[in-house]
Structure 1
Amino acid sequence: MGLLSQGSPLSWEETKRHADHVRRHGILQFLHIYHAVKDRHKDVLKWGDEVEYMLVSFDHENKKVRLVLSGEEVLETLQEKGERTNPNHPTLWRPEYGSYMIEGTPGQPYGGTMSEFNTVEDNMRKRRKEATSLLGENQALCTITSFPRLGCPGFTLPEFKPSPVEGGASKSLFFPDEAINKHPRFSTLTRNIRHRRGEKVVINVPIFKDKNTPSPFIEAFPEDEEAAKASKPDHIYMDAMGFGMGNCCLQVTFQACSISEARYLYDQLATICPIVMALSAASPFYRGYVSDIDCRWGVISASVDDRTREERGLEPLKNNNYRISKSRYDSIDSYLSECGEKYNDIDLTIDKEIYEQLLQEGIDRLLAQHVAHLFIRDPLTLFEEKIHLDDANESDHFENIQSTNWQTMRFKPPPPNSDIGWRVEFRPMEVQLTDFENSAYVVFVVLLTRVILSYKLDFLIPLSKVDENMKVAQKRDAVLQGMFYFRKDICKGGTTMVDGYSKAQNSTEQAVEEYTLMSIDTIINGKEAVFPGLIPILNSYLENMEVDVDTRCSILNYLKLIKKRASGELMTVARWMREFIANHPDYKQDSVITDEMNYSLILKCNQIANELCECPELLGPALRKVKYSGSKTDSSN
């Protein structure tokens, strides 16, 4: 999760005093990197995935499942046995926000050959097995996006109570500070977001109105005036960074061959973000309730929203410089490539001095405004030992701002003095229950980048429409019910490569006619005379490539999962979870998830993840049987 500096963290007031220093030197660091590598070409296409995991413990006797606060110890052992012992170890492990979380990546990035697609799932299996081997009895490693009873009494092991009054990082009514990773970055981020904002973060998620759900649904917080004021009727109220950053996701980073290719990929993939987010929907439950959303994005966006009342437009500007329309965790605000410029229809707040400085240093207008927009934000964490740096050889101040702008896509300059190239990070996906599913989503996105570059596809639409798509994507059953703005003709040459679909582009066509509302089924699987479909395009690409039989079978299996999720033949994880809870014998149709219901759900998730049971509604017949026992839980209990 971003930059992990070591040292003595500063308070918000101390950090604020150094904010201009960090911004000034962050820009100098960016300029050093840019001028050193702006003309760099022919970097090979490399890529890698990041999977976030939760550690859980099953109490079979009392039918409870809790989050285990041992992430730091597990991580230390994984690193000691892995990368510190062998630099070529096949897995890498990193800390995450929750002390019940860890993040795993492949030890080395994947390369440009098609056969690499056939190694993704195997590496994910290695990660699951490696981490699981360190867990205690009745403990498991779960890839679930949101823990349904996160923030409910007793949700951690060991159990800690929140401290809303006493001095602490979050002052949450529900989320104890002990559930935050012990690395000082995480508690400092939590505290400084709250201090900068001037109040606790406010997260209100609409509750799913079932037959017996109270109407209006109102929670009372008589002993907390701030909560009583912030919570909304018919909403699930949450008040801490942990409710967002304590969720898990699936991300992919690509190295492009040049800066221009990275900018092109950044733009094209930005339009795909809401589509894949809806396809990967996996988080319908929050704080022990059934919600009316399927994705975590808005929750995590609100959980780190450090904007003051002035910046949110609730009070006149007096102590702050800008009105800022979004949280620092949100969708992108501008395209970076020349072909995207005409679709930049969102008002962009920028630091004008930084923008002019970048222009004078030879940075083009589109990249200059992107960086100047990121740098309207303050640094949220700063370490005493990291204030004064060598701008020619370090990039901590640039990364300080860059890594706390958590957007759907991230444009990543190379680290100073490294052989790493220009990269882009694809960030909207929800993590899935199984390694097979996670591999499928990763392979789909990576394969799509190959096709975009090979066929010079154009998915661009006005950025305001992408923002609208992001809102639709988070709604319940968006994959089946939602309609998304999407470009009708995606082939710049005028004709696509898919059999049965040929549509010449009319050069006089108005921008408003370049896109239309489509279902995800149409976007992914195609509809005659409307849109060719991304899966048919990928299949067409595969037919023209030399691919060994095993790899081709794996890829087709992955694409089959995506295809069937898009059509509704298979459920999303979110829909499957909803059905599971709705059919649980203890469910009272009141939107409440009890300890026992949560236990049953997570136990089932763990059994599915370790291939100890079938789940045709979620996976169909596509899941290949590769036997191994990766769980230390006794599934017979």
Structure 2
Amino acid sequence: MGLLSQGSPLNWEETKKYADHVRKHGIVQFLNIYNKVKERQKDVLLWGDEVEYMLIEMDEKNEKVRLVLNGGEVLETLQDKGEKTNPNHPTLWRPEYGSYMIEGTPGQPYGGTMSEFNTVEDNMGKRRREASSVLNKNETLATITSFPRLGCPGFTQPEYNPTPVEKGVSKSLFFPDEAINRHPRFSTLTRNIRHRRGEKVVINVPIFKDKCTPSPFVEKFPEDDGEAARAALPDHIYMDAMGFGMGNCCLQVTFQACSIEEARYLYDQLATFCPIVLFVYLTIDEEINKELLDAGIDKLLAQHIAHLFIRDPLSLFEEKIHLDDENESDHFENLQSTNWQTMRFKPPPPNSDIGWRVEFRPMEVQLTDFENSAYVVFIVLLTRVILSYKLDFLIPLSKVDENMKAAQERNAVQEGMFYFRKDIYKGCNPVLDSSSAAQNGLDSEGDHYILMSIDTIINGKEGVFQGLIPILNCYLENMEVDVDTRCTILNYLKLIKRRASGELMTMAKWMREFVDKHTQYKQDSVITDKINYDLLRKCDSIAKGEERCPELIGDPVNRGK
């Protein structure tokens, strides 16, 4: 979660007056940090994960599932029992956008030893048990990306009606303000984004066309003042609030690098895996770009910061306008933390032991701690291989953009084709510079990348690409790893391998098939309360280990660790 300042929030008209002030001093704050720590070297390779959870109530009598809007109380209880009592508590808890959401992280970052991989799932299990222990009867913790009936009538507990025509922060037809976290940052963000746009948020997602789905599918909005009718597209699901994006859950990993050079290298390489949506020609603030270049910042880093600073500050507190730029970075973080890109480059906070960091943000949260641990360990291992062997996954950003579009298609894992670099061995450690590099050699300077399936990228294909899993296995063979840790890692990689090949379902496909096979589904694209209840009850049972799901998870050997 981004910057959480305390104080008196300003409305958009007041915030707008200080936009140039925030940008000006944000750049000064960045330059002060940069000049203090640009030569910093040999920071320890640390990392940590962030898991976002939804609080849900299982109403067995009425066979309904609702989002419980008591995240603030749950968070306070967890913090009181945890970090406020013991600074070395193994878990940390933080707020999220939805009042039905909380975020859990390990209490201390993981280090650079291989044995750390053997503790990730255990810590995630601690978080799940810890949070579950303070919930009310019939309440549970869900790690799902999106609540299937988000925005439908009666989706919250307690139930609140949206206030589209009354004074409120979102004026949504579907998402009540009570579902937004009570901290003033979140309501201020919501209101100020709407005021800055001059209209509500507009989201149109193509509806899944089933046999009995109306064609064209056109929604009617009884309380609409005309704005929704103008914005909604035929054959699309229309949404009008930030909660339909920020009210979803994800899985993130943050890495502390040894130096700024290593952090930048990781940022560039991991961008291929997100992939983040960027243009070949970034829109930048030319004046800020020149200021950064004149201050000694190199061209690429200056472009990155100047791109972030084309934005306006969206949330500003009266007490945080005039700051000590030498020792505070709130204005820089104001703009940095409201650029919700799938990769984030994070300078050290002022006067801190924390080093240069990179945050990897595109992963959907998974149903079980085993799956979430597998995805986290896979990405962390990948960073270790990239750094150890100096691998090069860079492709043109125009192709990264095309990959992002392909990734959003249904069943992209099985059917999608993605641009990926064939020659990743340039300047690499000789242990990997084998015959496969020659097989994947370049016919010409422009033949560095080709279209590949996810299966080929992850598992490899002879004569095309060695595959990420085989590369990771090669790395593991050259590392000293105890038997227990090696077994755990191989278990995780097996899940990734089987998901990529299609042998196991992704969570999205598993959910689609559950709904499609439900006896009450009428092939009309509608998820009823009963379908939703049965789906999430099944999810809860699997997440708690009460029920096996081999088509989704397989049969891991040491899940009980």
Letter in 1 for 2:531: M
Match of 2:206 in 1: 206
Going from structure 1 to structure 2, the CA distance change for 1:223 and 1:85 (only over 3 Å counts) comes to closer
Distance 1:178 1:418 in 2: 36
Matched, 1:426 2:427: no
Displacement after TM superposition at 1:109 (Å): 0.3
Partner residue, 2:526 = 592
User: Alignment partner of 2:335: what SS?
Assistant: helix
Q: Which residue of 2 aligns with 1:465?
A: 399
Give the aligned length. Answer: 559
What residue identity is the alignment partner of 1:243?
F
Match of 2:346 in 1: 412
Map of 2:160 onto structure 1: 160
Alignment match, 1:298: none
Q: Within 1, Cα distance between the matches of 2:427 and 2:190?
A: 49
**Alignment match, 2:269:** 268
Match of residue 432 from structure 2: 497
Q: Distance in 2 between matches of 1:108 and 1:123?
A: 11
Judged with a 3 Å threshold, the aligned counterparts in structure 2 of structure 1 residues 47 and 625 are, in CA distance, closer, same or farther, namely closer
CA distance in 2: counterparts of 1:509 and 1:82, whole angstroms: 58
Instruction: State the match for 1:294 in structure 2.
Output: none
Give the C-alpha shift of residue 508 in structure 1.
7.6
Q: What's the CA shift for 1:501?
A: 2.1
Letter in structure 2 aligned against 1:226: E
The answer to whether 1:441 aligns with 2:353 is: no
Q: Partners of 1:88 and 1:420 in 2: how far apart?
A: 17
Partner residue, 2:34:
34
1:242 maps to which residue? 243
- Secondary structure at 2:479's aligned position in 1? coil
Give deviations 1:55-94, integer Å, cap 9, x for gaps.
Answer: 0000101100000001000000111111111110000000
SS at match of 1:591: coil
Deviation of 1:504 (Å): 6.7
Q: Which amino acid aligns with 1:266?
A: Y
Q: Is structure 2 residue 376 aligned with structure 1 residue 375?
A: no
Unaligned runs of 5+ residues in structure 2 are none
Q: 2: CA distance between counterparts of 1:217 and 1:428?
A: 30
Q: TM-score of the superposition, structure 1-length normalised?
A: 0.86
In structure 1, what is the Cα distance between the partners aligned to 2:395 and 2:455?
19
In 1: Cα distance, 2:558 partner to 2:205 partner: 37
Distance 2:334 2:509 in 1: 37
Structure 1 residue 510 displacement after superposition: 2.2
Shift of 1:626: 2.1
Kept in 2: contact 1:498–1:536 (CA 8 A):
no
Partners of 1:124 and 1:435 within 8 A in 2? yes
| Whole-Å separation in 2 of the counterparts to 1:490 and 1:108 | 33
Q: Does 1:197 align with 2:197?
A: yes
Aligned: 1:576 with 2:477: no
Q: Secondary structure at the match of 2:103?
A: strand
- The answer to whether the 8 A contact 2:385-2:391 is kept is yes
Counterpart in 1 of 2:550?
A: 616
Q: Deviations over 1:179-207 (max 9, x none)?
A: 00000000100000100011001000011
Say if 2:485 is the partner of 1:528.
no
What is the SS of the residue equivalent to 1:228?
helix
> 1:621 Cα deviation (Å)?
1.0
Is structure 2 residue 231 aligned with structure 1 residue 230?
yes
User: What is aligned with 1:13?
Assistant: 13
By how many angstroms is 1:622 displaced? 1.8
Question: Tell me, what secondary structure is at the counterpart of 2:554?
Answer: helix
Residue 332 (structure 1) shift: 5.1
Does 2:541 match 1:607? Answer: yes
**Cα distance, 1:475 vs structure 2:** 1.1
User: What's the CA shift for 1:498?
Assistant: 7.7
Give, in whole Å, the separation in 2 of the partners of 1:360 and 1:431.
42
For 1:366, which of 285, 300, 310 is the aligned residue?
300
Give the corresponding residue for 1:313: none
In structure 2, C-alpha distance between the alignment counterparts of 1:623 and 1:468, rounded to whole Å? 38
RMSD: 1.3
Equivalent residue letter for 1:490: I
Distance verdict in 2 for CA 1:556–1:540, change over 3 Å: same
Matched to 1:503, the amino acid is A
Give the Cα–Cα distance (whole angstroms) in 2 for the partners of residues 499 and 156 of structure 1.
57
Q: CA deviation at 1:375?
A: 0.2
2:370, 2:559 within 8 Å by CA — same for their partners in 1?
no
1:541 to 456, 463, 475: 475
* Preserved contact between residue 436 and residue 623 of structure 1 (Cα < 8 Å): no
TM-score by length of 2: 0.98
Question: What is the alpha-carbon distance in structure 2 between the residues aligned to residue 59 and residue 506 of structure 1?
Answer: 59
Amino acid corresponding to residue 355 of structure 1 in structure 2: N
Paired residues of 2:423 and 2:437 also in contact (CA < 8 A): no
- Does the 8 Å contact 2:118/2:485 carry over to 1? yes
**Offset of 1:624 from its aligned partner?**
3.4
Instruction: Using the TM superposition, give the Cα deviation of residue 471 of structure 1 relative to its aligned residue in structure 2, in angstroms.
Output: 1.1
Equivalent position of 2:76 in the other structure: 76
- Where 2:93 maps in the other structure, the secondary structure is strand
Q: Report the counterpart of residue 67 of structure 1 in structure 2.
A: 67
Does the 8 A contact of 2:423 with 2:442 survive in 1? no
Deviation for aligned residue 1:408: 1.3
CA distance 1:12–1:209, shift in 2 (3 Å): same
Deviations 1:444-487 (A, max 9, x none): 00000000001110000000100110111111100101000000
Counterpart secondary structure, 2:135: coil
Percent identical: 78
Which of 391, 395, 401 matches 2:325?
A: 391
Residues 616-635 of structure 1 show CA distances to partners (whole Å, capped at 9, x for unaligned) of 110011263429xxxxxxxx
SS in 2 for 1:347: coil
| Counterpart amino acid of residue 362 in structure 2 | P
